[in-house]
Amino acid sequence: MTATPGGTPTIVLVGHGMVGQRFLEALAERGLTATHRVVVLCEEPRPAYDRVQLTSYFSGKTPEDLSMTDMRFIADHGIELYVGDPAETIDREARKVTARSGLAVDYDVLVLATGSYPFVPPVPNKDAEGCFVYRTIEDLLAIEEYARTRTTGAVVGGGLLGLEAAGALKGLGLTSHIVEFAPRLMPVQVDEGGGAALLRTIEDMGLSVHTGVGTQEIVVDESGAVTGMKLSDGSELATDLVVFSAGVRPRDQLARECGLTVGERGGIAVDEQCRTVNDPHVFAIGECALAADGRVYGLVAPGYEQAITVAATIADDESEQLSFTGADLSTKLKLLGVDVASFGDAHGTADDCLDVVYSDSRSGLYKKLVIGRDGTLLGGILVGDAEAYGTLRAFTGSVPPVSPESLVLPAGAGEAVQLGPSALPDEAIVCSCHNVSKGTIRGAVTEHSCTTVPEVKKCTKAGTGCGSCVKVLGQLVTAELEASGVEVDKGLCGCFSQTREELYEIVLALRINTYQDLLDRYGRDGARGGDGCEVCKPTVGSIIASLAPTIGASGYVLDGEQAALQDSNDHFLANLQKNGSYSVVPRIPGGEITPEGLIVIGEIARDFGLYTKITGGQRIDMFGARVEQLPLIWTRLVDAGFESGHAYGKSLRTVKSCVGQTWCRYGVQDSVRMAIDLELRYRGLRSPHKLKSAVSGCARECAEAQSKDFGIIATSNGWNLYVGGNGGATPRHADLLAQDLDDAGLVRLIDRFLMFYIRTADRLERTSTWLDRIPGGLDHVRDVVVEDSLGICEELESLMTDHVAHYADEWATTINDPEKLARFVSFVNAPDTPDPVVGFVPERDQIKPDLPLLSIGHRPLEGSAQR
């Protein structure tokens, strides 16, 4: 069949990767989706996804997380997207593309974004069972499945993807090898010194690296499955899985077959508008295109520039005459936890240039700057510490305001200087993915009234690509606001000019154990001597509670002044519900409960007429208790061995678990025991926001650990620790912090992570938001809690030890103190009178709140949430 445009000009896009999706966005930005029919033929079975972050699939990201395609965008712009249906032929004379399904589309403009394909060396048995490439999500799914029954893996190629593939195999529990033909790893990005630093660090992680050797043959057994590799030096490497990651080649076969000009080494030849050199109706962008400068660009940022160039050319807007004449090849990577970055003329190919080098083999640090004779920064290489990458890259092509020597020294060493982004010229490119300059970012603040990083991202697209510029972006926004006379008040509230983090440090350092003392000593003028506000009172109350044993404060949140600082739920150690009743949630560590415990809960719910529900956190909620009933209910629960589940507090809620190796035939560790140990260790830990955790006994992830604030997944070698999940209304998968930990190592890292979060997070800030907001993100957190870069891990562990040693169940404390019990009444002047407003009606053999009907217009609404 033939799809006819009905007189509307048609744009056909062949390929829907990252660059293809950016092209569609560029069309929409110029209104072309409203004036043209847009058809997309996609070979893969899924729309565009983030191939740059492909390896994060093995760290917990799902294919949905990696997706870059908003289907609402596709629908709103009337884009016809065909996945799993690649173009097979192009008839340039008839201007028609035919897909595998037989769909034929006439075009006015054809854009080829077919990307590249993995290069597989022509070695014997390269297609044997157990040989894979590392390019698509489907490749990763196949590797993951095959690796389940294998022990050793080898990666052919020591470049970017090769190192990522090796890390993925290690994460799957395989002994991993890297085979690189060049004399060093990542030969394109780093020089000999950088390669040596990278090699030492990677070998320290337990990966075996073989450089300067090639693959001669894949060895197979009688069934045709991989058993090893023969190398060019005569040695043989035993392995039962091979991943080829030896580079890519432009996918230009479709262009060749229809007579378009391709380069000698591949790539569809295009001009500066990315139009093919022998057909004005056909364009090529991304890794399949041979640019006018004779180069095929394998990075996403140049592809984005090409996509925008083509969209502007199609729009034929005289105010936007764009051309693609080359691109910045700077890259910043995180490989196996190691920072690697290169920018500008990293290898010093310019005439008469000089090198400034700092190398520390013990720490795995290597920094090199390439400097022109006139002092111009030409490029550089950073291994082990790429913190200054954003600023240094932006200075490329100019003379930095300080000496080059001072820029490569580590902080605190000699004449080390840390240049801030305010020193950058306006023309400096801050976001290379979208070619956004410092001046454009400043304009977003001053001309478009953007006051936050998300607003600037939306306005300029800066920071929406690889994300390496987000930290610089935040610094620029703050600096520009301050320069414009806008006071950037970072204080917690009107009472305190300090942030929550600063108040935490003050309380800890000076052992301040009352809110009033803190307010009187450190409150703003006018606030001192006052009563505080609804923002700072619960915030400081939480800080004091989390540090109580260390600073000499009472650990009971309703003692003295502390009671006045608590949120409404904490006032009665229970969750207030919509009709004025309360819920009772006893702790059930790990979800494990005896039949006797179940019977007690059932009898209590029956005797008090409570609604019961099993929660997603593997415990039982009881709803409908009146305030005066709470002590009676909890007396029976405490007598039966239960304690507070802290469902009312900003603290640890649950540690969910599967049954693990004890019962499950797939389990590799005792997840129930670990979940119980962790829940009992962290119970009652007050924090900026509530915390949830889970422990899965194997990679099947039945406990959904990667959706928790901290989650643990068992491996055959120990435990993998994930952090920063959950996210509430904005779901976020957790990130891998560390892997293959033993029990003690796991607990130690969780202690550090939680106390560092409590120490540095803002009020009501979830771990997911904190991890995205904190400068340096996950990398910084890993440096602090794993590598102890700030030297505070001993203190973090000590704080947690104090918490664990001094924990006491709040309800057990309450029911044994008549003075504390006096607060549990509906009416102070009539303590024996129940609240008449609290009522219930039957539903499904239980109860529900009896609420009056409110009406708005003609639409009845049942009740409203009370908070």
pLDDT tens readout for residues 487-501:
666 788 888 989 999
Per-residue confidence (pLDDT) for residue 856, from 0 to 100: 31
Would you place residue 862 in the very low, low, confident or very high pLDDT band (cuts 50, 70, 90)?
very low
Report yes or no: 753 and 746 within 8 Å, Cβ to Cβ: no
- Amino acid identity at 754: L
Would you place residue 318 in the very low, low, confident or very high pLDDT band (cuts 50, 70, 90)?
low
Q: What mean pLDDT do residues 349-369 have?
A: 83
Regarding whether 525 and 405 lie in a shared domain, the answer is: no
* 177 pLDDT higher than 80: yes
Final residue of a structural domain among 220, 246, 272: 246
Regarding whether 458 and 374 lie in a shared domain, the answer is: no
Structure tokens at 712: 């643990």
Q: Pick from 384, 400, 380, 398: which is nearest to 331 by CA?
A: 380
Regarding whether 553 and 665 lie in a shared domain, the answer is: no
Phi and psi dihedrals of 184, rounded to 5? -150, 165
* 363 pLDDT higher than 50: yes
Q: What mean pLDDT do residues 303-327 have?
A: 85
Q: How many residues does the chain have?
A: 867
Would you place residue 866 in the very low, low, confident or very high pLDDT band (cuts 50, 70, 90)?
very low
Regarding whether 467 and 561 lie in a shared domain, the answer is: no
| Least confident stretch, 159-168, 416-425, 498-507 | 416-425
pLDDT tens readout for residues 763-806:
889 998 898 888 888 889 999 999 999 999 999 999 999 999 99
pLDDT tens readout for residues 62-99:
888 888 888 999 999 999 999 999 999 999 999 999 99
Per-residue confidence (pLDDT) for residue 693, from 0 to 100: 96
Per-residue confidence (pLDDT) for residue 467, from 0 to 100: 65
Which CATH number belongs to the domain containing residue 728 in this structure?
Answer: 3.30.413.10
Residue 31 forms part of a structural domain: yes
pLDDT tens readout for residues 110-137:
999 999 999 999 999 999 999 999 999 9
Regarding whether 793 and 656 lie in a shared domain, the answer is: yes
Range of the domain at 271: 2-117+250-315
Q: What mean pLDDT do residues 132-152 have?
A: 93
Q: What mean pLDDT do residues 163-169 have?
A: 88
Residue 683 forms part of a structural domain: yes
* 867 pLDDT higher than 50: no
Final residue of a structural domain among 202, 229, 246: 246
Per-residue confidence (pLDDT) for residue 865, from 0 to 100: 31
Q: Quick check: pTM over 0.85?
A: no
Q: What mean pLDDT do residues 318-335 have?
A: 74
* 540 pLDDT higher than 90: yes
Which CATH number belongs to the domain containing residue 338 in this structure?
Answer: 3.30.390.30
Whole-angstrom Cα Rg for the chain:
31
Would you place residue 836 in the very low, low, confident or very high pLDDT band (cuts 50, 70, 90)?
confident
Please state at what angle helix 777-785 crosses helix 793-806, rounded to 10 degrees. Answer: 80
| Least confident stretch, 87-101, 650-664, 837-851 | 837-851
CA distance 500 to 590: 32
* 173 pLDDT higher than 50: yes
Q: What mean pLDDT do residues 600-618 have?
A: 94
Per-residue confidence (pLDDT) for residue 252, from 0 to 100: 95
Regarding whether 767 and 830 lie in a shared domain, the answer is: no
Residue 415 forms part of a structural domain: yes
Per-residue confidence (pLDDT) for residue 319, from 0 to 100: 64
> To the nearest whole percent, how much of the chain has pLDDT over 70?
93
Cβ count within 10 A of residue 198: 26
Q: Pick from 368, 295, 363, 354: which is nearest to 329 by CA?
A: 295
Regarding whether 467 and 405 lie in a shared domain, the answer is: no
More confident site: 644 or 461: 644
Regarding whether 800 and 663 lie in a shared domain, the answer is: yes
Structure tokens at 673: 């025991």
Residue 609 forms part of a structural domain: yes
Residue 492 forms part of a structural domain: no
* 482 pLDDT higher than 80: no
Per-residue confidence (pLDDT) for residue 848, from 0 to 100: 87
User: Which residue is it, tokens 């593997």?
Assistant: 618
Per-residue confidence (pLDDT) for residue 172, from 0 to 100: 86
Q: Pick from 594, 507, 519: which is nearest to 551 by CA?
A: 507
Per-residue confidence (pLDDT) for residue 26, from 0 to 100: 93
Torsion of CA 724, 389, 58, 221, to 10 degrees: -160
Per-residue confidence (pLDDT) for residue 225, from 0 to 100: 95
- Amino acid identity at 641: G
Number of domains the chain contains: 7
Regarding whether 107 and 8 lie in a shared domain, the answer is: yes
Regarding whether 215 and 157 lie in a shared domain, the answer is: yes
CA distance 586 to 578: 20
Q: What mean pLDDT do residues 620-626 have?
A: 94
- Give the ranges where 279-383 is alpha helix by DSSP (H): 300-315
pLDDT tens readout for residues 254-285:
999 999 999 999 999 999 999 999 999 999 99
CA triplet 709, 715, 719: central angle to 5 degrees?
45
Regarding whether 156 and 80 lie in a shared domain, the answer is: no
Residue 137 forms part of a structural domain: yes
pLDDT tens readout for residues 24-50:
999 999 999 999 999 999 999 999 998
Regarding whether 731 and 678 lie in a shared domain, the answer is: yes
Final residue of a structural domain among 770, 791, 808: 808
Q: What mean pLDDT do residues 445-468 have?
A: 79
Residue 495 forms part of a structural domain: no
More confident site: 499 or 364: 499
Per-residue confidence (pLDDT) for residue 410, from 0 to 100: 63
Q: What mean pLDDT do residues 714-739 have?
A: 88
Per-residue confidence (pLDDT) for residue 587, from 0 to 100: 95
Which CATH number belongs to the domain containing residue 613 in this structure?
Answer: 3.90.480
Q: Pick from 430, 346, 336: which is nearest to 380 by CA?
A: 346
Which CATH number belongs to the domain containing residue 79 in this structure?
Answer: 3.50.50.60
Mean of the per-residue pLDDT values for the chain? Answer: 87
Phi and psi dihedrals of 652, rounded to 5? -65, 130
Which CATH number belongs to the domain containing residue 446 in this structure?
Answer: 1.10.10.1100
Report yes or no: 100 and 41 within 8 Å, Cβ to Cβ: no
pLDDT tens readout for residues 751-766:
999 999 999 999 889 9
Would you place residue 671 in the very low, low, confident or very high pLDDT band (cuts 50, 70, 90)?
very high
Residue 111 forms part of a structural domain: yes
